[in-house]
């Protein structure tokens, strides 16, 4: 047995204090993501939850460096440590460099929210998957197509040999999302990023796709970053969960820990609202707290949640809280916790 | 696909028939006929005309007959004998007059179209991909200038500069010694040395427009999620752009090939007059003013036929490159 290199021990991917800024010629800069810390364990699933617009997709795209040209990463690190290679800080790579392109699609791949428009309308499903295999591996087009057919079969597409020659508009939404998944898995990635992969699908198909993803994760042993705004889905699929609010990750921990003993006031509000959210439409929006999420432009200088937090106190609006360990693998960004951990101090 | 082509061919024949009818009707719309114009010209220059001669001529040309009879004579002549009638003004069969002219038009405008596409597409792609960059602004400025400067003015300026700076007299498509010669390598070179200026003039406005269309189409496509998917595969950026969004953005442009030709012919009339080009445009203009009806009707009819054929070709290309049309998808 070959010796396991050092890298195989720590986390697969660590995001450390990441921020992402969009600039445009005629508007002020938008700090879409301000402080993101995430830790992805090998072979595990981390669910990233948060209301729409809080920066989940932007974070995911930053990991693959496929953000628009107008986006920059002014601070933070994205450390990727695959089993068999040196750790690399993705945030410092040039997006179009060979180093980044050998990671993208090959070691980290992604599936998207819109199965309808995420595949090219003028290329067959097979062509689009073959292309990815040929790009990253030394295979002939024929071998690539055989692998494509096997993948389509594995993700549960009936008649895979014929379907490989179909165009996306000839398939249903569910089948298209399955084809996307087949494509994302085609090079055996270490990490699969799934950005709300079931949001655009109907409920039955949603459940099938979730089952499929869980099944495939067992088979392939990859880690998964699963983005969703549906807490029900989190409980079903995740090992860890990270809660995001307005560009900040406010809490990350083991899924049982976080669900049982949520620490951050925002997470608590989310959890306590679960039983009340019976109708799907309500759950979709995930907006259980009084008031609306401000836009990144009106983000408070200190804790991003301070404009809506029921227990906000003196330093909250001005000073950003640091992450505090609140358990094994459990970290929270909130002044309340910091204070509680320092006995003797009085809250003014 | 075969059914598609057959139904298209049938509707093509019907369209061409309708064009012939309308063309013939339109050239008869102005009051009077060729002889009225002819008499007017003669008396304007002081000649006296014997009304009986005119009446005899009118009889001979069949001008006194009802519209439908004249039309029938013309069309049956075309279908049965390829005879498009006589040109009154030139006193020769229309077929002898037009082929050279139409050939020049197609050649010149075909070249202009090729130049347009080769120049405009890369610039349009560049401008869209590098939105708001210096290059994009330059392309926009060029676009506005190209659209705003009238063709004939550009032609005049070019001719003036050519004469003032290089002593070259621009005009025509061939030097005198090659005028009636057979095609040879030397004649091709001579043609190119004369044709570049009209091609440049003719292509400018189209290029400017095409840059804008390509830029706008591509900007729409670049926003679409399938581009992000392609990027997420790990393809180099240039391959992402060329293989996916550019490919899709080209589709609507292909469908414009069909009506490029008539647009160019009509827009090139003034340029052709200014630069003394032996193309179909000036001939059509003249035949319309003199009411030389068979010549005018034939030119309009043939332009219509070319348009219909062009449209068919661009539809076939479109069906070939866009599976959504081929399979009748969304
Ligand atoms: N291309 C862009 N240009 C400017 N701002 C953007 C862009 N993409 C996203 N944003 C900003 O980033 C924020 C987060 O967006 P996103 O990550 O898509 O949210 P979500 O959590 O719903 O996935 C939004 O508030 C939006 O204003
Ligand atoms: S830091 Fe202050 S405002 Fe922010 S969540 Fe904690 S208590 Fe609320
Ligand atoms: Mg999103």
| DSSP annotation string for A60-111 | HHHHHT---TTEEEEEEEEEE--TTS--EEGGGS-TTSHHHHHHBTTTEEEE
* B240: Cα separation from own chain's centroid: 35
Distance CA A333, CA A304 (A): 10
More confident residue, B35 or B93: B93
Highest mean pLDDT of the ranges A310-319, B44-53, B103-112, B237-246: B237-246
pLDDT at residue number B328 = 67
A-chain residue closest to B322, CA distance? A122
Does residue A94 carry a pLDDT above 80? Answer: yes
pLDDT at A346 over 70: no
Q: Nearest bound ligand to CA A243? A: 1
pLDDT higher than threshold 70 for residue B302: yes
- Tell whether the model's pLDDT for residue B329 goes beyond 70: no
Q: Compute the average pLDDT of residues B165-174.
A: 81
Give the pLDDT mean for B96-105.
86
Q: Contact B232/A96, CB-based, under 8 Å?
A: no
Cα separations in angstroms, B78 against A265, B15, B75, B129: 87, 16, 5, 52
pLDDT above 80 (res A289): no
Q: What is the DSSP string of A320-341?
A: PPPEEEEETTEEEE-HHHHHHT
Exposure of B211 by Cβ count < 10 A (0-12 exposed, 13-18 middle, 19+ buried)? buried
List residues in chain A touching B: CB distance below 8 A.
Answer: 25, 61, 64, 66, 95-96, 101-106, 109-110, 112-114, 117-124, 131-132, 135-136, 167, 169-170, 180, 183
Q: Given pLDDT bands bounded at 50, 70 and 90, which one contains residue A341?
A: low
The HSE-up count of residue B228 (CA atoms within 13 Å, CB side) is 25
Domain boundary among A157, A186, A215: A186
- The answer to whether residue B289 scores a pLDDT higher than 60 is yes
Instruction: Report DSSP letters for A217-241, one per residue.
Output: HHHH--EEEEEES-HHHHHHH-SEE
pTM summary value: 0.85
What was the pLDDT predicted at B330? 45
pLDDT for A264 beyond 90: yes
pLDDT greater at residue A210 or residue B325: A210
CATH topology of domain B108-291: MetI-like fold (1.10.3720)
Q: Residue A274: which pLDDT band, with cuts at 50, 70 and 90?
A: low
Q: Which ligand is nearest to the CA of A251?
A: 2
- Residues of chain B in contact with residue A131, where contact means CB-CB under 8 angstroms, are 233, 235
Of the residues B228, B241, B254, the best mutation for testing chain A's interface (the one with the most A CB atoms within 10 Å of its CB) is B228
Segment B118-137 shows an average pLDDT of 94
B260 by Cβ neighbours in 10 Å (0-12 / 13-18 / 19+) ranks as buried
Residue A310 vs residue A94, higher pLDDT: A94
Q: CB under 8 Å to A242, separation ≥6 — which residues?
A: A38, A46, A47, A48, A49, A249, A251, A252
Distance (Å, rounded) from C-alpha B194 to C-alpha B198?
A: 8
Give the mean pLDDT of B85-102.
Answer: 85
A270 belongs to a structural domain? yes
Angle between helix axes A141-154 and A125-136 (nearest 10 degrees) is 120
Domain boundaries along the sequence of chain B: 108-291
Tens of pLDDT, residue by residue over A122-180, are 999 999 999 999 999 999 999 999 999 999 999 999 999 999 999 999 999 999 999 99
Using CB atoms within 10 Å of the CB of residue B83, give its burial: 0 to 12 exposed, 13 to 18 middle, 19+ buried.
middle
pLDDT at A209: 93
- Per-residue buried b or exposed e for A83-113, using 16+ beta carbons within 10 Å of the residue's own CB: eeeeebebbebebeeeebbebbbbbbbbbbb
Question: In whole angstroms, what is the distance from residue B278 CA to residue A284 CA?
Answer: 69
Q: Residue B171: what pLDDT?
A: 78
pLDDT tens string A68-87: 989 999 999 999 999 888 99
**Nearest C-alpha neighbor of B105 from the set B302, B296, B319:** B302
In a domain, A148, yes or no: yes
Q: Which of B132, B227, B234, B243 to mutate to test the interface with A (most CBs of A within 10 A)?
A: B234
End position of a domain, from candidates A165, A186, A207: A186
Segments forming the whole domain that contains residue A135: 121-186
Rounded to 5°, angle at Cα B326 from B321 and B330: 105
Give mean pLDDT, residues A258-286: 72
User: What would the mean pLDDT of A283-309 be, rounded to a whole number?
Assistant: 79
The one-character DSSP state at B116 is H
Predicted confidence band of residue A244 (pLDDT cuts 50, 70, 90): very high
Q: Tell me what pLDDT residue A4 has.
A: 46
A122 CA distance to ligand 1 centroid (A)?
28
How much of chain B exceeds pLDDT 70, in percent?
97
Closest protein CA for atom 8 of ligand 1: A58
Total domains in the fold of chain A? 2
Higher pLDDT, B30 or B212: B212
SS3 A242: strand
End position of a domain, from candidates A135, A155, A186? A186
Nearest CA in chain B to A171: B329
* Contact residues, chain B, for A61 at CB < 8 Å: 228
Q: How much is the pLDDT for A348?
A: 41
B28-43 burial code (b ≥16 CB/10 A, e <16): beeeebbbebbbeeee
Tally the C-alpha atoms within 13 A of residue B192's C-alpha that lie toward its C-beta. Answer: 6
Which residue in the set A61, A96, A131 is minimally distant from B236, CB to CB? Answer: A96
pLDDT reported for residue A1: 44
How large is the ipTM? 0.89
The pLDDT tens digits of the residues spanning A167-222 come to 999 999 999 999 999 999 999 999 999 999 998 888 899 999 999 999 999 999 99
What integer pLDDT is reported at residue A347 of this predicted model?
46
Can you give the pLDDT at residue A343? 45
Of A96, A109, A122, the CB nearest to B232: A109
DSSP state of A186: T
Residue B4 pLDDT greater than 50, yes or no = yes
Whether the pLDDT of residue A304 is over 70: the answer is yes
**The pLDDT of residue A342:** 52
Statement: residue B100 has pLDDT above 60: yes
Q: How many CB atoms lie within 10 A of CB B329?
A: 13
Half-sphere exposure of B41 (CA within 13 A, CB side): 10
Q: Average pLDDT, whole number, for chain A?
A: 89
Q: Name the pLDDT band for A224 (thresholds 50, 70, 90).
A: very high
Q: Is the pLDDT of residue B56 over 50?
A: yes
């Amino acid at each position: 047995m070959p010796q396991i290199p050092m890298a195989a021990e720590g986390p697969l991917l660590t995001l450390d204090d990441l921020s992402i800024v969009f600039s445009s010629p005629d508007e002020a800069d938008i700090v879409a993501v301000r402080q993101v810390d995430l830790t992805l364990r090998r072979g595990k699933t981390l669910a990233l939850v948060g209301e729409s617009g809080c920066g989940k997709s932007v974070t995911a795209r930053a990991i693959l460096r496929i953000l628009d040209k107008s986006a920059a990463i002014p601070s933070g690190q994205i450390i990727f440590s695959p089993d068999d290679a040196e750790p690399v800080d993705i945030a410092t790579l040039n997006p179009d460099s060979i180093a980044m392109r050998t990671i993208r699609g090959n070691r980290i791949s992604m599936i998207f929210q819109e199965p309808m428009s995420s595949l090219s309308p003028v290329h067959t499903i097979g062509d689009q998957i073959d292309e990815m295999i040929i790009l990253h591996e030394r295979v002939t087009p024929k071998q690539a197509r055989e692998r494509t057919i096997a993948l389509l079969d594995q993700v549960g597409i009936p008649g895979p040999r014929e379907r490989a020659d179909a165009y996306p508009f000839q398939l249903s939404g569910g089948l298209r999302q399955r084809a996307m998944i087949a494509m994302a898995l085609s090079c055996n990635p270490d990490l699969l990023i799934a950005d709300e992969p079931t949001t655009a699908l109907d409920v039955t198909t949603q459940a099938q796709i979730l089952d499929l993803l869980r099944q495939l994760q067992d088979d392939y042993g990859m880690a998964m970053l699963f983005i969703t705004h549906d807490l029900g889905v989190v409980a079903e699929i995740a090992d860890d969960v990270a809660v995001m609010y307005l560009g900040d990750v406010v809490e990350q921990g083991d899924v049982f820990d976080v669900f049982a003993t949520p620490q951050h006031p925002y997470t608590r509000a989310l959890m306590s609202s679960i039983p009340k959210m019976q109708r799907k439409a309500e759950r979709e929006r995930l907006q259980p707290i009084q008031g609306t999420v401000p836009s990144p432009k009106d983000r408070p200088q200190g804790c991003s949640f301070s404009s809506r937090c029921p227990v906000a106190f003196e330093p909250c609006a001005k000073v950003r809280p640091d992450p505090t360990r609140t358990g094994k693998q459990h970290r929270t960004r909130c002044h309340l916790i910091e204070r509680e951990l320092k006995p003797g101090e009085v809250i003014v | 696909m075969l059914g598609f082509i057959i139904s298209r061919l049938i509707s093509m024949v019907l369209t061409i028939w309708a064009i012939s009818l309308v063309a013939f009707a339109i050239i008869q719309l102005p009051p009077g006929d060729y002889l009225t114009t002819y008499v007017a010209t003669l008396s304007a220059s002081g000649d006296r005309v014997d009304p009986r001669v005119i009446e005899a001529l009118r009889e001979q040309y069949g001008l006194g007959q009802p519209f439908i009879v004249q039309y029938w004579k013309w069309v049956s002549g075309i279908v049965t004998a390829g005879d498009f009638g006589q040109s009154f003004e030139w006193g020769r069969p229309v077929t002898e007059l037009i082929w050279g002219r139409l050939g020049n038009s197609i050649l010149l405008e075909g070249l202009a179209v090729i130049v347009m596409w080769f120049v405009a597409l890369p610039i349009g792609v560049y401008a869209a991909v590098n939105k708001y960059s210096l290059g994009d602004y330059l392309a926009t400025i060029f676009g506005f200038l190209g659209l705003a400067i009238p063709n004939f003015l550009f032609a005049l300026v070019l001719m003036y500069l050519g004469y003032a700076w290089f002593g070259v007299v621009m005009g025509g498509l061939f030097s005198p010694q090659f005028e009636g010669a057979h095609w040879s390598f030397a004649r091709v070179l001579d043609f190119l040395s004369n044709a570049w200026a009209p091609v440049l003039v003719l292509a400018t406005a189209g290029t400017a427009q095409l840059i804008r269309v390509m830029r706008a189409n591509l900007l729409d496509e670049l926003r679409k999620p399938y581009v992000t998917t392609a990027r997420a595969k790990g393809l180099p950026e240039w391959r992402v752009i060329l293989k996916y969004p550019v490919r899709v953005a080209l589709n609507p442009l292909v469908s414009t090939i069909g009506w490029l030709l008539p647009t160019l012919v009509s827009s090139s009339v003034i340029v052709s007059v200014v630069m003394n080009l032996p193309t179909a445009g000036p001939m059509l203009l003249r035949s319309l003013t003199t009411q030389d009806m068979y010549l005018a009707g034939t030119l309009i009819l043939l332009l219509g036929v070319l348009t219909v054929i062009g449209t068919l070709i661009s539809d076939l290309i479109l069906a070939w490159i866009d599976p959504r049309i081929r399979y009748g998808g969304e």
